[in-house]
């Protein structure tokens, strides 16, 4: 006996399209509408249950209402050369008036009471995805450049990006450099003092040499005068004796 025609209206009717990239969960919606005047039980099944998460995957649709079923495809490595063989089936039946246990109703349902609709899955990778990937790469590069530039800015922001050990090493290095600079300043000061002392000693020695020379010159000039006077006196005496 042929199964009755599906009373639920499906949107979309034949295909569930999933648009990539598929590195994250991709969700598509399936709308189920009940145009009848009776409540309808439904179930959503798939040939690849580990690859999809369906919410809700079963329930009751009241007369004249509709629900949205979210079909979530889990992340996977997309191969454009591989065609999807995944399929979904929406199974339904009219809810009995005195229904209390839906699972029991499904178990006791007769084949001629069940209705079903099948949909195939289609994976689409947008052409713009490569451009988007390049733009995201450029953004990541720009952000890394901004981070590298900010690392050369104020020490506060630098210390906030470093751990305590690195900050301590930097502070110790700064302290060592300050002590080295202080030591060099003291050595420079000592060298200047030593040079000044040498210059003063040199000036004193030169002044002593000049005073000794002057005394020698004075002594020589006094002896010359004495000899001249002596010669003069001897000349006078000799002159008188001759006369």
Pairing status of strand 15-19 against strand 115-124:
parallel
Query: For 140-149, 198-207, 220-229, which range has the lowest pLDDT when averaged over its residues?
Result: 140-149
> What pLDDT is recorded for position 77?
92
Q: Which residue has the higher pLDDT, 183 or 59?
A: 59
Rounded Cα distance, 224 and 218, in Å: 10
Whole-model pTM: value is 0.52
Rounded Cα distance, 175 and 183, in Å: 12
Q: Which residue has the higher pLDDT, 27 or 242?
A: 27
Pairing status of strand 52-55 against strand 66-73:
antiparallel
Number of CB atoms found within 10 A of residue 50's CB = 7
Mean pLDDT, the chain, integer? 79
Q: pLDDT band at residue 158, thresholds of 50, 70 and 90? A: very low
Q: Which residue has the higher pLDDT, 239 or 77?
A: 77
> What pLDDT is recorded for position 170?
72
- Sorted by sequence, the CB contacts under 8 Å of residue 13 that are 6+ apart come out as 117, 119
């Amino acid at each position: 006996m042929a199964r009755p025609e599906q009373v639920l209206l499906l949107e979309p009717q034949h295909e569930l399209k999933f648009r990539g990239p598929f590195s994250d969960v991709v969700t598509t919606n399936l709308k189920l509408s009940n145009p009848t005047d009776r409540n309808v039980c439904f179930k959503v099944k798939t040939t690849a249950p580990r690859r999809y998460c369906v919410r809700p995957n079963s329930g009751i649709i009241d007369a004249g209402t509709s629900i949205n079923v979210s079909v979530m495809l889990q992340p996977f490595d997309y191969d454009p050369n591989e065609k999807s063989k995944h399929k979904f089936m929406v199974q339904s039946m009219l809810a009995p008036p005195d229904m209390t246990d839906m699972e029991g109703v499904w178990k006791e349902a007769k084949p001629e009471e069940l209705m079903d609709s099948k949909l195939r899955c289609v994976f689409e990778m947008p052409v713009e995805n490569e451009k988007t990937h390049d733009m995201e790469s450029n953004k990541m590069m720009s952000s890394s450049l901004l981070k590298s530039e900010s690392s050369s800015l104020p020490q506060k922001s630098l210390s906030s990006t470093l751990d305590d050990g690195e900050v301590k090493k930097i502070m110790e290095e700064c302290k060592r450099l300050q002590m080295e600079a202080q030591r060099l300043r003291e050595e420079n000061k000592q060298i200047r003092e030593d040079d000044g002392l040498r210059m003063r000693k040199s000036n004193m020695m030169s002044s002593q040499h000049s005073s000794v020379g002057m005394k020698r010159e004075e002594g020589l000039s006094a002896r010359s005068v004495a000899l001249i006077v002596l010669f003069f006196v001897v000349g006078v005496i000799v002159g008188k004796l001759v006369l």
